[in-house]
Structure 1
Amino acid sequence: MPRTTLDAMDNALPPAEELRLIDRELVRLDAHRARLLARRAWLLTALRAAGPAAGPSPGPVRSRGTAAETSPPGAQNVLLALGGTLLAIAAVAFTVVSWGHMGIGGRALVLGAVTVAALGTPLLLLRRKLVSTAESVAALALVLTVLDAYALRRAVLPGTDTLAYTAAAAGVLAAVWAGYARAGGGLRLPLPGAVVAGQLPLPLWALSAGGSAGAVAWAALATAGLDVLIALGARRKGVRAPAAACAVATGGWSLLTGLWLSVSAASPAASVEPALLLLAGAALALAAAWRTPASASASAIATIGGLAAIGGLAAIAALGGVLRTAVPPDWAVPAYLLSAASLLAAVRIRAPRVVLTGLGAASGLVHLASALWAAPVVLLGLTGPAAVLENVWGGPPAPGAAPPGAATAPVVLAVVAAALWVAPRLLPAVPPPRPAGECAALVLAWSAAVAAPVALSLPLGPALAVQLSATAAALAQAARPSLAAALLPTARRAPGAGRSGRAADGTATPPEAARTPRATASPEATTSPGATGSARATATPTGSPPHPGSPAADPAPDDHTPPEAPGRTGGAAGAAPPAGRPEPPPYAPDPLRALAATALACALLSGTAAALLGLATRPATFTALGVLVALGATAAVTARGLVRTVAACTTVVGSTGLVAATAAAAELPGHRIALALLAVPAGAALLGARLGRHPVAPAVEVTAAAVVPIAVALAAPNPPALALVLALAGVVAAGTAVRAERRPLAGYAAAALFVAATWVRLAASGVDTPEAYTLPATVPALALGLLRRRTDPSASSWTAYGPGLGATLVPSLLAAWGDAGWQRPLLLGLAALGVTLAGARRRLRAPLVLGGLTLALVALHELAPYVVQAVDALPRWLPPALAGLLLLAVGATYEQRLRDVRRFRESLGRMR
């Protein structure tokens, strides 16, 4: 594109003018492409007419209908490789099969001539620029040299040691191939072949000399060192890749051998040699990682980090193997863990960051494996107390079989927690901890305390004390996570801490920490979209000086925070973060909140284990439940948010257990214990009335309401006591329902409880009259319906009066149909008549329909005997005749009956 056109397009042009310029340039490019295609077609035609003398063809001309499936170089390489393979197979067959049919002179002449010809031919082919053919012949020549070595062994040196001869032959071949590659500079196969052949001399020489597995491993490690030197010094990728692969294979085998020897060593003296081997391998891996050229590619970063991690693991295995033999068997895992912890000090050296990351990953893997090894002891400490449920207050349970090495599990967990918590703060090269790492450290520290009773086989009292102490510590951390703010760099920079004026746990922060610096942007920053850092907004805090814990108090940039981009502009007024402290993204996790949630989960688990363990004896039960209730109440008062709600609910649960334990200790029967348990929902209702609309009140009352089913189940064998329990529960629910915040669900529960209490009391007294059950529920229901209609005239009569009327009329009607007396039908008929007349007078649908149907059915019940007698007295032909006359009458007045039915339906529809 001409420069003038580019200049014109760079300027701010109207859209129509710019579109015309683009169209003009596209037309020019199409015309130029057509000229080039025509010229190319003419050149191809001229080359075909000139024949092979005109030079190599630029390539096949593909038609639109066909496509070549392979390129000429690819086909050539396949043919050459196939030819070289066939010649190699023929040479092997000749050497192995036909060798014995020739004399020594013929053998030497044939092998010498063929080998010399095969080695010299690639040099001649290279001069003629036939590189692919030369590579194929060179490969054949390498195979022939191997066959020469084999033939020399069979014919001239049959009595030599096989391993020694193979080692010497491999060394000679490696040297010959390396020299041959130097002579034929254009050949690519001999030098990688020399690298592969060089892997055999030292290990095979060690085996032939009768060396042990350690000696062979040393020889393999020395070979790996040579491979590393070749991989780092080679210029061609075709040499670096085989050398690196061979270094990994031989070095990995030597490290695995050293690890096996270190693990199987039974004394410190026997572990020294494997430790030296592992340390040498670690040094080699770290040197390779250090000297490997760093690049931005993911493969290079992974290679360097992997080598550093392998070196770190080898160093840990070396030091841990020596320490393992000097300590008791139970302390083997702490020995390796101590070695991994000491490796963290290496991150203070000046080394590439990728190498330090690999070393940290190696140490982290060992720490993770150690924590997983100790996890079964923690699970046993949490689930072991459940065995007490088989014999409550029957004494401490028999200790179960502890896993191997359980005595050191708390030490392992404590060391891992300390390393995870301290290392990122003391070692500058380690990235700052994230909420996940801090929460993991908290869980590990808590796990160490939980595992201590199992590891030390503590009796009931100390074990219960440890569990309660772990619960108290975790609950304190959950209630006040800001206590650890001094140790948490990320907590001091919690997202939103400076904007909301409230800490992550919900506690109010000082006014200085809650103020957000006000940012004032210069005119350049607001008008020019390309403004640089000179036009960046400046933060001007207002009010008193910032709080020492706030970001504004420390203007120095964080060691792990990347500098701000040069072209980044300031934000809008009131949104600029303090200088040097970029504001965290809105999706960043809150460290304090994450710590509080983690600590709360730990407190619940250890608290449950302590409560179960306390069931072993009566004193332990009251001690455990009393301490748990006190801890929960304290946390409910001091905590905020979810922690406060959960702590309040657990306090209710603990109080329930404490009341039940007190009643059981007094040897009260089950129905008396049920009455005692009702003190919990009563107390929760009183507390809820005092709290009012506090967000914790509903959760506390719902948790306390769950005690009612337990009390009902305990009182079920004694009906009078069950009626009393239901009535008292109804009183509590009614008291909750009449509060200012109005809880409709509590009102429904109160009504159901009162009705159930009445029915249970009547059943216990032997009353079988249905009206005694239905009338106590009907009268309040009708009264409530009347109040509903007065407050809401639009309410339907089915909603207001339907439930009350149905609760009495339907059971009484069913009883009347089975009653042979006349009193019940008479009273029911009069009541139904009154209800019907009231419905017609007030134009209410529900009383009219229910009362009318009941009255009709009662009348039918009373007339049924007389109808039966009359039917028996009439002739048999009279009922069919009357039925026929009725059908004729209905048919004759069908339309009139339809109008009557429609009119009745409309009248009924106008009622409420």
Structure 2
Amino acid sequence: MEHVPPPAEELALLDRELAQLDARRAHLLTRRAWLVSALQPQAPNAPRWSTPPVGHGWAPGQPWGSGPRTAKPSAPRSAQNVLLTLGGLLLTVAAVAFTLVSWGSMGIGGRSAVLALVTLAALAAPAVLLRRKLAATAEALAALALVLTLLDVYAIHAVAAPEADGLTFTAVASAVLAALWAAYGLALGKLHLPLPAAVFFVQWPLLLGAWAAGAPAIVVGWALLVTAVVDGAIALWGKGLGVRVTAGIGLAVMGSAALLVGLGESLTAGGPLGALLPGALLLTAAVAALAGAWRAPDGYAQVGGAVAGLAAVAAVGGVLRAAVPGTWQVPVYLLCGLALLSVVRVRLPRSAGRGVLLAAGAVPAGALVWALPPVAAVLLGPVQLVAEVWAGAPDGFRGALGASMPWSETAAAPVVLAVVAGGLGAAFRWWPALVRAAAPLITPGAKVRGASGAGALGLGWGTLLLAAATLDVPYPVAVALETVLVAGLLAVAVLGADRGAGGAGSAEGAGPGGGIGSAVRVSALVGAFGGAVSVGLLSLASEAATYAVFGALAVLFTGAALRTRAVVEQAALAVAAVVWGTVLTGCAARSLGLAPHEAAPLLLVVPAVTVGLGARLRRHPVALPVELTGALGALVAVGLAVGRAPFLALVLALCGVLAAGAAVRPERRPVAGYLAAVLFVAAAWVRLAASEVSVPEAYTLPVTVPALVVGVLRRRKDPGASSWTAYGPGLAATLLPSLAVAWTDPDWLRPLLLGVAALVITLLGAKYRLQALLLLGGAVLALDTLHELAPYVVQVAGALPRWLPPALAGLLLLAVGATYEQRLREARRLKDALGRMR
């Protein structure tokens, strides 16, 4: 037996253990404080204890410091900076106010003398302050001096040279200020502001001078480029972070502007000779960017290499573009971009070379942006045929695509797709050799090779489709071509999956004889689905083409599903085959001239096949997706039959038969069994309503009685069976149709009999703890009572004052809110009680 001490003894024991824990915690905290002090850097002459204080857990051989070293409080730099900033700002405002407001009250000599004197004082003061170690104050006065020099420039222009051109004067003044502040910053090397200010002023002389002279755009571009080169040199070799950052911003802005000017002039040139000057500007920019990338850090070097590559493509491609027709200009730039791949043979720094390779990849990407919209038009154009099914086959491929795409302007798009697809295919085929040739620039990777193969496959497929549309091949040829392409893509996906399951050869980086790779297979599968939808829409122009295409698609996707061993792909292919089969049944109904409600039963052929297929597949992962797709076809059939009640009853009954067939299997019984019961009951109700039966009990009671007998026998055999399974269908078969009829019956006999029956069923459910009887009977009784009391409620409501119902509702809400927690507990108890019922 376990000994339990008396409460007093146990309390004393707990107090002793807590005291020991407190002592241990204090010891650990003391030891931690010593370790923190021992790890902190100490002054060179700081004394050290040789032994730790007594009682602090020191062990022989452990070092012990001189205790926690008190950190020297730092100077209040933030407060000082705020004060200096405010002081400099106030002085600046005063100087501006003096120049703009009080200027006119003094003579020319006095004005010049005051400004010059104050500026010289502001420029001289930082040198004195730096010698006295007052660097922050010196920086504030240097900022004031900067503003004063700008005011001096304004004053000189307003008084000494009022007739001078503003742009020309500003350009000269910027050059003077740049030289002044550069010399000042170099003389006082400890100040941080002057040299960045000089770099800022460097940006304007050439640009404003060219603008003031009315120079053409190409001269402005050269001015921008020279300024950007100066910025690049300062960014590489400048002194101080502020200088380099300012120069880097100027390089980005001025360099981008120069490139845009050169590109704009190149694109608008009327001939090759007119494109030479912009090309020279762009080529010079490329050389300058590459030279900077040669010496820049890695990240900036990569950007510089990319800019150099793109500028070179724009330069050379611009000259060649002017010599070819407008349709073929994009392929010219594409070929120039692919020529950048020769950088792998040039000894460039690794980052710069990678940047050039990025440019070589960006050019084909831009070409694809231009070439892919026609491919989308080929794939999505047949959507218009849905509104005119079987209106007649057009003469050519374009006739089925609509007139939205100007095909004469996209003649070069198939060439662009073919070139890019060929390049990606070559990279996929000879990837190991490519990696060896460009080892410093290309990082080996399976994903990259797989993406190349997938891109080559997709672009090759698009090339063939777009070429057929560009050539406007006959309609039958286009349909046959798209169908064959779908078959080819399915073959690639299926064979690739089989090879991939074969072993190590399936890796992405495997040689040509290995597996095709998951990326390529996924690309092929997606292309097969997209192509199937496109050719299916395209075939809607002709009845014969529709049957041929959807029949071929059903066979192809079924064969692929049987051939592949990948579960996900197999399920997707099987689902697609079911969809194509459903479309075929719909086409058959249209060929027979059936109305939509008459075609509804025919559409249940495919769901019946999927139920039988599911019985054969049993628990195979593909079985459930196939059966659910068939169920969607059955749902379409129900929707088609909604307009005609007799056909709707027939379709519901047939769907109930299919659900009952699926419920034979144990794994489908929990869902399919209930669904079959609901469908049968719904079919009976619809049939009764269609026949305008006024006494539905004559038809429902013969069904309810045997159903309840079967339920009783089921419960005797299996006491754990749910009351919903045993009695729910039988009771619902009579109660619900009777309730529907009683709701519109003006007589009192039917509602009375229904209410009595529902009351009896409810009491039986409560007595024998049967959930189905209790809920069904209670719901029908409540609705029946509500129907009978509704006229009186309306009369009473009409007699009451209009303010009374809102007031009663408010009181009810207050009462419920006040007793909310109690009502919630009662609801939970009711839920638990219902849950315990069978």
Query: TM-score scaled to structure 2, two decimals?
Result: 0.66
CA distance in 1, matches of 2:678, 2:147: 98
CA contact (8 A) 1:149 1:169 kept: no
Shift in Å, 1:259 = 1.7
Q: Tell me, yes or no, if structure 1 residue 610 matches structure 2 residue 535.
A: yes
Q: Tell me, yes or no, if structure 1 residue 288 matches structure 2 residue 292.
A: yes
1:288 partner amino acid: G
CA contact (8 A) 1:181 1:190 kept: yes
Partner of 1:519: none
* Residue of structure 2 aligned with 1:382, choices 379, 383, 404: 379
Q: Tell me, yes or no, if structure 1 residue 322 matches structure 2 residue 319.
A: yes
Partner of 1:223: 227
2:251 partner amino acid: A
Partner of 2:475: 460
Partner of 2:442: 430
* Residue of structure 1 aligned with 2:79, choices 42, 46, 70: 70
CA distance in 2, matches of 1:115, 1:403: 68
CA distance in 1, matches of 2:117, 2:597: 111
CA distance in 2, matches of 1:310, 1:785: 81
Cα displacement string for residues 370-404 of structure 1 (whole angstroms, at most 9, x for unaligned residues): 44444543443333222112111012457221168
For the structure 1 residues 345 and 626, does the alpha-carbon distance in structure 2 shift closer, same or farther, using more than 3 Å as the test?
A: farther
Q: Which moved more, 1:363-372 or 1:614-623?
A: 363-372
Q: Tell me, yes or no, if structure 1 residue 625 matches structure 2 residue 625.
A: no
CA contact (8 A) 1:139 1:189 kept: no
CA contact (8 A) 1:784 1:800 kept: yes
Q: Which runs of 5+ in 1 are unaligned?
A: 7-15, 41-58, 61-66, 295-300, 486-502, 514-546, 555-589, 858-910
CA distance in 2, matches of 1:671, 1:775: 30
* Residue of structure 1 aligned with 2:67, choices 11, 29, 40: 29
* Residue of structure 1 aligned with 2:328, choices 328, 331, 351: 331
CA distance in 1, matches of 2:470, 2:284: 37
Partner of 1:401: 404
Partner of 1:637: 562
More contact order relative to length (CA 8 Å, sep ≥ 6): 1
Tell which structure's C-alpha radius of gyration is larger: 1
Cα displacement string for residues 642-689 of structure 1 (whole angstroms, at most 9, x for unaligned residues): 111121122122122223323433445667644543432333344334
* Residue of structure 2 aligned with 1:651, choices 570, 577, 592: 577
Seq. identity, %: 42
Shift in Å, 1:237 = 3.8
Cα displacement string for residues 709-738 of structure 1 (whole angstroms, at most 9, x for unaligned residues): 444565677777777666655555544444
Partner of 2:306: 309
Q: Within 5 Å, which residues of 2 pair with 1:632-711?
A: 632-639=557-564, 640-667=566-593, 673-711=599-637
For the structure 1 residues 87 and 669, does the alpha-carbon distance in structure 2 shift closer, same or farther, using more than 3 Å as the test?
A: closer
Shift in Å, 1:274 = 0.9
1:390 partner amino acid: A
For the structure 1 residues 715 and 221, does the alpha-carbon distance in structure 2 shift closer, same or farther, using more than 3 Å as the test?
A: closer
Shift in Å, 1:342 = 3.1
What SS does structure 2 have at the residue aligned with 1:399?
Answer: coil
CA distance in 2, matches of 1:798, 1:125: 95
Shift in Å, 1:310 = 2.8
For the structure 1 residues 714 and 245, does the alpha-carbon distance in structure 2 shift closer, same or farther, using more than 3 Å as the test?
A: closer
What SS does structure 1 have at the residue aligned with 2:583?
Answer: helix
For the structure 1 residues 632 and 119, does the alpha-carbon distance in structure 2 shift closer, same or farther, using more than 3 Å as the test?
A: closer
1:402 partner amino acid: M
Shift in Å, 1:280 = 1.0
For the structure 1 residues 798 and 753, does the alpha-carbon distance in structure 2 shift closer, same or farther, using more than 3 Å as the test?
A: closer
CA distance in 1, matches of 2:675, 2:661: 11
Shift in Å, 1:248 = 3.4
CA contact (8 A) 1:227 1:247 kept: yes
CA distance in 1, matches of 2:128, 2:77: 32
CA distance in 2, matches of 1:217, 1:256: 8
For the structure 1 residues 480 and 93, does the alpha-carbon distance in structure 2 shift closer, same or farther, using more than 3 Å as the test?
A: same
Q: Which moved more, 1:168-177 or 1:468-477?
A: 168-177
Partner of 1:233: 237
Partner of 2:786: none
CA contact (8 A) 1:479 1:644 kept: no
CA distance in 1, matches of 2:227, 2:683: 91
CA distance in 2, matches of 1:167, 1:756: 89
Q: Tell me, yes or no, if structure 1 residue 472 matches structure 2 residue 472.
A: no
Cα displacement string for residues 28-87 of structure 1 (whole angstroms, at most 9, x for unaligned residues): 415x75xx99xx9xxxxxxxxxxxxxxxxxx98xxxxxx78623x875687578668867
CA distance in 2, matches of 1:96, 1:225: 43
Shift in Å, 1:257 = 1.4
For the structure 1 residues 179 and 743, does the alpha-carbon distance in structure 2 shift closer, same or farther, using more than 3 Å as the test?
A: closer
1:434 partner amino acid: K
Shift in Å, 1:258 = 0.9
Cα displacement string for residues 290-344 of structure 1 (whole angstroms, at most 9, x for unaligned residues): 212x3xxxxxx54333333333332232233233323332334443343333334
CA distance in 2, matches of 1:376, 1:621: 26
2:609 partner amino acid: G
CA distance in 1, matches of 2:61, 2:631: 80
CA distance in 1, matches of 2:581, 2:243: 76
Cα displacement string for residues 771-812 of structure 1 (whole angstroms, at most 9, x for unaligned residues): 652255236524532541353145577864575367469989
Q: Within 5 Å, which residues of 2 pair with 1:179-218?
A: 195-203=199-207, 206=210, 211-218=215-222
CA distance in 2, matches of 1:82, 1:309: 47
Q: CA RMSD in A?
A: 5.7
CA distance in 2, matches of 1:819, 1:204: 95
Shift in Å, 1:611 = 1.4
1:683 partner amino acid: V
Partner of 2:348: 351
Q: Which moved more, 1:264-273 or 1:741-750?
A: 741-750
Cα displacement string for residues 499-553 of structure 1 (whole angstroms, at most 9, x for unaligned residues): xxxx5xxx4x3xxx4xxxxxxxxxxxxxxxxxxxxxxxxxxxxxxxxx5667999
Q: Which runs of 5+ in 2 are unaligned?
A: 1-33, 40-53, 395-399, 782-836
Aligned length: 692
2:352 partner amino acid: V
What SS does structure 2 have at the residue aligned with 1:326?
Answer: coil
2:355 partner amino acid: G
CA contact (8 A) 1:402 1:454 kept: no
CA distance in 1, matches of 2:544, 2:620: 36
Cα displacement string for residues 819-858 of structure 1 (whole angstroms, at most 9, x for unaligned residues): 99xxx9xxx9xxx9xx99xx9xxx9999xx99xx9xxx9x
For the structure 1 residues 793 and 408, does the alpha-carbon distance in structure 2 shift closer, same or farther, using more than 3 Å as the test?
A: same
CA distance in 1, matches of 2:221, 2:696: 96
Shift in Å, 1:430 = 3.1
CA contact (8 A) 1:234 1:240 kept: yes
Shift in Å, 1:622 = 1.2
CA contact (8 A) 1:407 1:455 kept: yes
CA distance in 1, matches of 2:618, 2:573: 18
CA distance in 2, matches of 1:718, 1:203: 80
Q: Within 5 Å, which residues of 2 pair with 1:525-564?
A: none
Shift in Å, 1:614 = 1.1
CA distance in 2, matches of 1:120, 1:87: 17
